[in-house]
Amino acid sequence: MARTEIRITGLGGQGVILLGYVLGKAAALYGDRHAVMTQSFGPEARGSACSAQVVVDEERIAYPYTISPKYLIALSQEGYDQHIGQCCDDTTVFLDGDMVEPKSDRCKHLTVQATRVAEGVGRRLLLNMVMLGFFGRHSNLLDGAAFRSAIKSSVPPGTEEMNLTAFERGWEVSA
């Protein structure tokens, strides 16, 4: 596996940073890969632009930032609009169809109604785990067990089952 760059974008409060953290942890601790995450967010606690960059590789990672993302995960229209221009023709964009309207046909777009699925699980804030499940299944970056282990050890105590349920619902969605 070559260097794989993933950019995750959305709004504060959508769980963008946690999604990136769990993805990196799944790769580094449970997927036998090297991983690094950087993050960026506005000064407001919720509602401002937020992004995470995760780089995964079999080799040590010397440069921690995305140059040419293989994957873009977009949870908000603002984030999609801001980052779609950095994508290449071979970038696959995973987007929340409840929140994002694709505006580019340069890249392959895969859509899941993550917010709606999360509401079905019982909490809208679980959309990040729904998206992680959808991304995990359709990117083939890691196996499901790596993601599940990372979720169990990363989310607040007492919320493990709810987060795993949201992940599984995303995993089940066809592209």
3-state secondary structure of 20: helix
As a whole number of angstroms, the distance between CA 112 and CA 175 comes to 8
Q: Which pLDDT tens digits describe the chain residue by residue (175 residues)?
A: 689 999 999 998 899 999 999 999 999 999 999 999 999 876 555 667 899 999 999 999 999 999 899 999 999 999 999 999 988 889 999 999 999 999 888 899 999 999 999 999 999 999 999 999 999 999 999 999 999 999 999 999 999 999 999 999 999 999 7
Domain 4-172 has CATH 3.40.920.10: yes
pTM above 0.85, yes or no: yes
Confidence (pLDDT) at 49:
82
3-state secondary structure of 103: coil
User: How many other CB atoms are found less than 10 A from the CB of residue 50?
Assistant: 26
Confidence (pLDDT) at 42:
65
Structure tokens given for 93: 């964009």
Domain borders along the chain are 4-172
